[in-house]
């Protein structure tokens, strides 16, 4: 606290002269900020306590400015994922904390403002003030806290507060006690305690989690005891027969050519040539299929009868080592492309697990792999194998999207759900509606949002920060072409009617601009809100945004949507004709329309039965618009199943297909059967469950792991790999608390009103992974949240494992074996492929334990990745090459690394002393 002389009069204490720009710059560069979550557990589910400590490190005093009005004081703007003082905000315009001398105001969305009251005690050099307050719900992770706070005074330029700048988040205090890293502990009305049981993993816990239970005859076993077989191809093919391991082919040894026999697969042949540098045959008439050192692509009618697979994408691959020839056959262009990917996978470098040495000392891999004589006959289980990418919340450059498309193609994924718009940004140029990108693609300090959006999600005050960027028409066309060349369909999403703040605000700026020019008719043409009707003071979205919903009662809303659809069709026209228009439809704050004259007029006219029917009216009108443009429709689950009701009747849609993306499946909340309801009603269902396929969730239940945790506390690659799409409820594992779902729990769910038996399984069309980017700001964060989980997703979308159809009490061992072969393949092969393409990926910290005789044992989640330890507090790192004596040290640091040494896991500590004093190591 400030130690200002108590004898000072109140006027003397608070009399700070008005700040100039130079003083503000000094304060911004030196002001210390410490953010600390204090207690998640005592406020039940509704509140947690936290503090912000301000420390002055300069000669400029920070205090209440006597020469300024209340609204012209210095203000610290910051982004916060949870509502501040939710008992007051956002209903009240501000809340005054007299005991700290500060005021908190909610600007909009995640933006809050901290400013001084007259009672704020001036902070001189070296003095501090600790401001204690409440947040909504809980905060259990460092990445919950957003960077790039800034200070501003009217009449000056805003300045980033240096101590909060960047990605280190060093200003965030530790999550070092249960009340800080656990989320809740409260008693239900029934008297039952609801308690977060998750603990951060220790190195010892990881050691046991990473061990293959199948081979654990004793607790001392480790990966090296079992030489796991690697999967030659991921995703696993339907049939792979190794015919001869003596006669192999080496396609990168030189002298090979590629023959497109019949000229049907020119692009696929060119792609293979580009990837391998093998030339295309220039004299096709002189080159014959089966000729030595020729890779032949041939169109051929082939099938996989009785397998229930997607016949349109079937292919065959024959490698004949004796004749030194390779034959790729397929019905379709896509099938030929997947045959090429299988060949590339077979040729990819790998290391081999050895029974006689640690996995981490496996033999050095060659620059490429010899391919044995083999036969592959393959096709996917699902026609939809997708990845969703949100580039609205935080923008990613075009090159990152192209790199992701390459990765998807390598693993035979074929749908790219492109989330182009949301509250926090509009990311695609729309000719004729320039304001969408002039305003909606930028974030910065403009509280009125006349030149840009607010600096949401830690963007900072300047319009060149992390929250800024968009794709021009030419950029988008390049992405389309790149995807099309890789047999990936791009499905653009324009999220509506909720999640539309960027569009609503941009069209309001357009309206004001044209009205100022006297162009009233043109101004109203694409308006998405009623300009003279203020947003309801109670209508806030889940993300705390007012003014985030398009108005379904305005004809101009539908004129805007029609304009956007037309422009999207034009962009797609000559590259990849647009087939699906995705309208979003999720998380709509319906109360936003309660006071709208336009909406009330619709109800009064009997065009809509009631205010509760406005969402259905909107969705059906947009569906009709899409149909008139010859398009199918896509929507999120809650755009079609509103408020846990039955889905809208499928017969009301004229569209040939309506794709619905199932994402809300928290087991105890009662919507897990929506996928069955939708499929039975005739919708094409894409499984995108939050509990298994939301890649914005953390990899571990650790406060130092990046990610949200609304659907589950963590989601590692193994959980993605273990998802069983053919039986959704078979995946019901734990509650949000971490408690296992008991047989009684599952019985209660099955006996609930929500229970629906799946009668039309043919309408489950596939799987999709999701990356939402509220907490993803950099290139490395983007790729690390996706990889290697995407590879596990591709495996499940393409290949149906035998264990998926087995009863729960029988599938354990088969699933365990399959996982460890998959994990070993990642460690020894697939992660090397990512590194070769310069794709960062998440590296879990290693498992580590001490034996009774003081030796360190380590293992990895992905056997084969290099492991290291340090006995000098991280000054130097030693490669782990088998059990090593460490009894002379008090603590050891451990980490895992990429094969190329560019990236590392989090560093974790093995406390030798406390371990030696415990009985944990005793067997």
Question: Pairing relation of β-strands 185-187 and 94-97?
Answer: unpaired
Number of C-beta neighbours around residue 25 at 10 A: 16
With beta carbons less than 8 A apart as the criterion, state whether 502 and 423 touch. yes
Cα 150 versus chain centre, distance: 27
CA dist., res. 603 & res. 245, Å (int) = 74
Instruction: Collapse the DSSP code of 227 into the 3-class scheme (helix H, G, I; strand E, B; otherwise coil) and give the result.
Output: coil
C-alpha dist (Å) from residue 429 to 471, 474, 695: 6, 9, 27
CA dist., res. 388 & res. 416, Å (int) = 6
- b or e along 724-754 (b: 16 or more beta carbons within 10 Å of the residue's beta carbon)? bbeebbbbbebbbbbeebeeeeeeebeeeeb
DSSP state at residue 831:
H
With beta carbons less than 8 A apart as the criterion, state whether 352 and 366 touch. no
| Contacts of residue 23, Cβ cutoff 8 Å, sequence gap at least 6 | 60
- What's the start-to-end Cα distance of the chain, in Å? 52
For tokens 């969705």, the residue is 619
Greatest Cα pair distance, the chain, in angstroms, is 102
With beta carbons less than 8 A apart as the criterion, state whether 133 and 86 touch. no
Using alpha carbons only, give the angle 761, 762, 767 rounded to the nearest 5 degrees: 85
CA count, 13 A, side-chain hemisphere, 618: 32
CA count, 13 A, side-chain hemisphere, 69: 4
Ramachandran sector of residue 40 (left: φ over 0; alpha: ψ -120 to 50; beta: rest): alpha
Helices (H), 203-352: 203-210, 266-276, 333-346
DSSP state at residue 457:
G
Please report which helix (H) or strand (E) contains residue 359, including its range: none
- Describe the strand order of the beta sheet including 884-885 as a list of residue ranges: 847-850, 855-859, 884-885
CA dist., res. 329 & res. 375, Å (int) = 11
CA dist., res. 673 & res. 302, Å (int) = 37
For tokens 């399959």, the residue is 818
Q: What is the 3-state secondary structure (H, E, C) of 151-219?
A: EECCCCCCEECHHHCCCCCCCECCCCCHHHHCCCEEECCCCCEEECCCCCCCHHHHHHHHCCHHHCCCC
DSSP state at residue 694:
B
For tokens 């003014």, the residue is 547
Helices (H), 220-332: 266-276
Structure tokens at 191: 């008297």
Nearest-CA neighbor of 842 among 896, 895, 785, 790?
Answer: 785
Residue of 587, 595, 668, 835 marked active site = 587
Is 757 one of the catalytic residues? no
Structure tokens at 785: 């949240």
Phi, psi torsion values for 16, nearest 5 degrees: -105, 130
- Describe the strand order of the beta sheet including 75-79 as a list of residue ranges: 94-97, 102-108, 111-116, 75-79, 150-152, 159-160
Find out whether the peptide bond into 788 is cis, omega within 30 degrees of 0.
yes
Number of C-beta neighbours around residue 854 at 10 A: 16
CA dist., res. 402 & res. 479, Å (int) = 7
* Residues marked as catalytic: 587
């Amino acid at each position: 606290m400030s130690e200002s002389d108590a004898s000072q009069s109140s006027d003397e204490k608070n009399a700070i002269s008005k700040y100039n720009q130079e003083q503000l710059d000094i304060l911004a560069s030196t002001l210390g900020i410490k953010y600390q979550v204090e207690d998640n557990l005592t406020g039940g589910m509704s509140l947690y306590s936290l503090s912000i400590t301000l420390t002055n490190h300069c000669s400029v005093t920070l205090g209440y400015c006597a020469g300024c009005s209340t609204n012209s004081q210095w203000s610290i703007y910051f982004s916060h994922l949870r509502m501040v003082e939710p008992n007051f905000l956002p209903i009240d315009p501000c809340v005054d904390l007299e005991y700290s001398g500060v005021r908190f105001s909610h600007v909009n969305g995640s933006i809050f403002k901290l400013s001084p009251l007259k009672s704020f005690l001036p902070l001189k050099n070296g003095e501090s003030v600790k401001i204690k307050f409440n947040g909504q719900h809980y905060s259990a992770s460092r990445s919950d806290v957003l960077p790039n706070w800034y200070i501003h005074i009217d009449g000056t330029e805003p300045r980033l507060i240096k101590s909060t700048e960047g990605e280190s988040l060093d200003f965030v205090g530790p999550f070092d006690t249960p009340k800080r890293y656990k989320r809740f502990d409260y008693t239900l009305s029934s008297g039952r305690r609801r308690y977060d049981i998750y603990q951060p993993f220790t190195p010892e816990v990881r050691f046991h989690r990473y061990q293959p239970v199948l081979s654990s005859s004793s607790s001392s076993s480790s990966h090296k005891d079992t030489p796991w077989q690697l999967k030659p191809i991921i995703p696993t093919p339907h049939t792979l027969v190794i015919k001869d391991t003596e006669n192999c082919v080496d396609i990168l040894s030189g002298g090979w050519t590629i023959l497109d026999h019949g000229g049907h697969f020119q692009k696929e042949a060119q792609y293979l040539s580009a990837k391998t540098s093998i030339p295309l045959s220039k004299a096709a008439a002189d080159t014959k299929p089966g000729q030595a050192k020729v890779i032949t692509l041939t169109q051929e009618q082939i099938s996989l009868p009785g397998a229930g697979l997607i016949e349109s994408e079937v292919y065959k691959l024959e490698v004949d080592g004796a004749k030194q020839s390779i034959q790729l056959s397929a019905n379709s262009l896509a099938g030929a492309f997947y045959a090429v990917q299988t060949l590339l996978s077979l040729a990819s470098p790998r290391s081999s697990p050895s029974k006689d040495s640690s996995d981490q000392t496996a033999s050095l891999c060659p620059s490429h792999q010899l391919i044995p004589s083999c036969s592959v006959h393959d096709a996917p289980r699902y026609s939809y194998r997708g990845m969703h990418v949100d580039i609205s919340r935080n923008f990613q450059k075009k090159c990152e999207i192209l790199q992701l498309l390459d990765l998807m193609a390598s693993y035979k994924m074929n749908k790219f759900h492109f989330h182009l718009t949301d509250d926090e940004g509009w990311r695609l140029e729309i000719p004729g509606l320039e304001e969408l990108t002039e305003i909606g693609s930028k974030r910065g300090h403009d509280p009125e949002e006349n030149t840009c959006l607010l600096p949401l999600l830690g963007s900072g005050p300047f319009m060149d920060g992390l929250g800024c960027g968009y794709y021009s028409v030419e950029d988008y066309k390049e992405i389309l072409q790149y995807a099309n060349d890789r047999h990936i369909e791009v499905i653009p999403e324009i999220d509506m009617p909720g999640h539309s703040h960027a569009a609503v605000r941009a069209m309001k700026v357009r309206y004001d601009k044209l009205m100022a020019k006297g162009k009233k008719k043109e101004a109203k043409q694409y308006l998405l809100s009623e300009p003279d009707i203020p947003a309801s003071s109670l209508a806030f979205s889940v993300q705390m945004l007012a003014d985030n919903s398009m108005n379904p009662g305005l004809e101009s809303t539908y004129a805007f949507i029609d304009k956007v659809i037309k422009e999207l069709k034009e962009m797609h026209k000559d590259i990849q004709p647009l087939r699906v228009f995705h309208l979003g439809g999720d998380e709509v704050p319906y109360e936003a329309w309660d006071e709208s004259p336009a909406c009330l007029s619709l109800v009064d006219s009997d065009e809509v039965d009631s205010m509760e029917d406005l969402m259905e009216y909107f969705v059906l009108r947009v569906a009709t618009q899409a149909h008139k443009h010859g398009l199918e429709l896509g929507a999120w689950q809650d755009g079609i199943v509103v408020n846990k009701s039955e889905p809208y009747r499928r017969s009301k849609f004229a569209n040939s297909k309506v794709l619905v993306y199932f994402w809300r499946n928290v087991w105890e909340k009662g919507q897990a059967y929506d996928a069955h309801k939708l499929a039975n009603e005739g919708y094409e269902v894409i499984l995108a469950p939050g509990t298994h396929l939301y890649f914005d969730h953390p990899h571990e239940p650790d406060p130092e792991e990046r990610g949200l945790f609304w659907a589950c506390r963590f989601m590692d690659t193994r959980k993605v790999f273990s998802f069983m799409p053919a039986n959704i409820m078979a995946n019901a594992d734990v509650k949000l608390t971490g408690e296992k779902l008991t047989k009684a729990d599952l019985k209660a769910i099955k006996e609930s009103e929500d229970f629906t038996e799946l009668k039309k399984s043919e309408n489950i069309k596939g799987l999709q992974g999701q990356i939402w980017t509220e907490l993803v700001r950099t290139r490395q964060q983007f790729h690390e949240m996706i990889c290697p989980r995407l590879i596990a997703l591709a495996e499940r979308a393409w290949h149906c494992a035998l264990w998926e159809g087995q009863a729960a009490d029988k599938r354990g061992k088969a699933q365990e074996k399959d996982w460890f072969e998959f994990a070993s393949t990642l460690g020894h092969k697939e992660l090397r492929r990512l590194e070769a393409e310069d794709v960062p990926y998440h590296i879990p910290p290693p498992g580590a334990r001490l034996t009774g005789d003081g030796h360190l044992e380590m293992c990895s989640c992905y056997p084969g990745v290099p492991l290291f330890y340090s006995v000098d507090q991280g000054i130097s790192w030693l490669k782990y090459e088998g059990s090593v004596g460490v009894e002379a040290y008090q603590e050891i640091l451990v980490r895992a690394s990429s094969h190329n040494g560019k990236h590392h896991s989090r560093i974790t500590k093995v406390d030798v002393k406390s371990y030696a004093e415990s009985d944990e190591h005793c067997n």
